[in-house]
Structure formats: C-alpha cells, structure tokens
C-alpha cells in the first residue's frame, strides 16, 4: 500500500519502505508506522517479506524458500528480500512525490533482519531501522 503525505506541499518527500513481520501477529503496517510517517511528510510503501505469501499461497513454513530455490537457483531467502526491497526503492524513485536521494527502510522481526541486509547491499536506500531483528551477537542467523 502506498501512503502519500496530505496537505504538506507538493514534495518531493523522503520515502520509507515499511515491512512488517512475516507472521500474522503484526499486520497492517499502514495503520501503525505507515500512517504516522505519512502524517509527518513521508511517502510510505508498506509491505512484507515474500515468504509471508509466496506463489500458490506458500509461506516459509509450507515451502516458500524451496520454491524460491527452484525458480532462481542459488538464491537464499534473505537475498530475495534485499532484491525485493531494491525493486520497491526503484519504484519509489520513479514517483514524482519522492526525493530519490532520501529513501529509507524500516522492518520489524524478519523485516528487521532484512533491514540489516538492505543496509549492507542496497546503496540506494540511505537509512534503515531494524526493530527486533533476532540476530545473535555471534552472527548466527536462521536466514
């Protein structure tokens, strides 16, 4: 869902890609940080990781990582997440309301883990926020 600032001038505005967790415990990011950011002058694109609803309704628990591997070869799920965030940034940069030099990413849970990788591998995204990424101090990760 794309949220645009109201009554704040023509822009261009900074933009934020906002991902929720991959589980149903936190849904509708547009009602949480999306509306808050839009009311403060940000263009917000809300979404979540592909593993929440992949092809044929598969999820992480029912085979989404395996379907990804079958379709793209040696792609790990986190690489697909970074790829998806970069495509979302590309879309935002095409919008006249968006300042292409000020695009951020915010994620919660698995979205937060994706934010860490987005920070490392998506140079077009200039700021990231990772809320509860579940990354161990020793660098271990389940993704």
Query: What are 51-97's pLDDT values in tens digits?
Result: 666 667 777 777 777 887 888 787 788 888 899 999 999 999 999 99
Torsion of CA 54, 83, 3, 135, to 10 degrees: 80
**Using an 8 Å Cβ cutoff, are 41 and 10 in contact?**
no
Q: In what order do the strands lie in the sheet with 127-131?
A: 2-3, 43-47, 13-19, 98-108, 127-131
Whether the CB-CB separation of 141 and 109 falls below 8 Å is answered with no
Residue 46: is its pLDDT beyond 90?
no
pLDDT of residue 90: 97
Q: What is the pLDDT of residue 64?
A: 76
Q: pLDDT > 70: what percent of the chain?
A: 83
Q: Is pLDDT above 80 for 29? A: no
């Amino acid at each position: 869902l794309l949220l645009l600032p109201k009554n704040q001038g023509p822009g261009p505005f900074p933009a934020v890609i906002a991902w929720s967790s991959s589980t149903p415990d936190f849904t509708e990011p547009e009602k949480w940080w999306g509306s808050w950011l839009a009311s403060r002058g940000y263009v917000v694109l809300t979404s979540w990781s592909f593993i929440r609803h992949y092809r044929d309704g598969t999820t992480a628990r029912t085979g989404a990582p395996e379907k990804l591997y079958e379709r793209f070869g040696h792609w790990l799920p986190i690489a697909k997440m970074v790829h998806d965030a970069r495509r979302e940034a590309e879309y935002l940069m095409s919008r006249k309301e968006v300042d292409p030099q000020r695009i951020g990413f915010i994620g919660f849970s698995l979205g937060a883990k994706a934010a860490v990788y987005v920070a490392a591998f998506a140079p077009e995204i200039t700021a990231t926020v990772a809320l509860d990424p579940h990354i161990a101090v020793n660098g271990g990760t389940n993704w």
